Amino acid sequence: MKNYFILMLLFFSWVASAQKVNYSPAYFGPNANPVPLFTDATIPAETMVQLSQDFYFGFGDNTTNTRFLVEVPLLSEFVSFKVWVTMLEYYKVTEGISSKRQMLNDNTSGSAMGDFYVQTRILIFREKRIMPSIVLNSTLKTASGTKFQEKRYFDTPGYYFDAEIGKSVHTKSSTISELRVVGNLGFLCWETTNSTQNDALMYGIKIILSNSRIDFENSLSGYWGWMRNGDNPLVYNSKISLKIKSLNYHLMYQYGIRDFPYHHLQVGFSIKMPKFTPKYD
């Protein structure tokens, strides 16, 4: 009976401790639950593979990782299947950040593996003279990320649904041949402790200036959770892409305005792979 009482006491102590975990971007690594990036409200005609390197720094957390992404149009320009993953991540945090996040094992540096994201994208409306394009995204995040005790990744899954709405204005100028405005609105959900879930409104706005060689985009996006525990991140994002035939090279900078304490640099490339695009006779 005494042993049973001790076990019950330990269990409830563990539950009480678990309740103190802030499952929010302000208290975890930068890849745990970032603000979802949204595209230009179009679906590609050909399979695209992207490889990039991320650098997060400032505010007491320095993180580097490689990111892999592939998007396969199941029905060209109408339906696609997209997968991305944060591969091997290296991190180093200050003692202050370790204390704030209540990191265990006194590990202020190390490596971790990230989550997989699986997304289905469907074109609801094709863009016309007045009508904007509308793309609906359905995304699942796994709980495969490691180093939960070091507060690198959540040990719970999540998902989100969002709609991208885009409209372009074309000009005769060779400097800026297209101005595109894209809006994003959705619903993001992730599990916390004791089967409780945090529900958040996703939002974003993006402006893209383009010509035949360069895309320059700037966006403001975030989500708004209900727990108010660092779950209301807002980020500014600026990205420039150089288009050379089937290759695109890009450089991106992101600044965390609220509840996302990072500067973020990303450099990478994407390549179109028509041979791996499904074709139907």
Does residue 151 form part of some domain? yes
Does residue 83 form part of some domain? yes
Instruction: Count the domains in the chain.
Output: 1
Q: Find, among 225, 226, 181, the residue nearest to 204 by Cα.
A: 181
User: Could you identify the residue written with the tokens 């409306």?
Assistant: 125
Does residue 156 form part of some domain? yes
Identify any residues that bridge with 249 across adjacent strands, giving them in sequence order: 242, 269
CATH (domain of 107): 2.40.160.40
Maximum CA extent, the chain: 84
Structural domain range at position 173: 2-276
Question: What is the pLDDT tens value at each position of the chain, 281 positions in all?
Answer: 555 545 444 444 444 444 578 999 999 999 999 999 999 999 999 999 999 999 999 999 999 999 999 999 999 999 999 999 999 999 999 999 999 999 987 789 999 999 999 999 999 999 998 999 999 999 999 999 999 999 999 999 999 999 999 999 999 898 999 999 999 999 999 999 777 899 999 999 999 999 999 999 999 999 999 999 999 999 999 999 999 989 999 999 999 999 999 999 999 999 999 999 998 76
Specify the pTM.
Answer: 0.90
Does residue 45 form part of some domain? yes
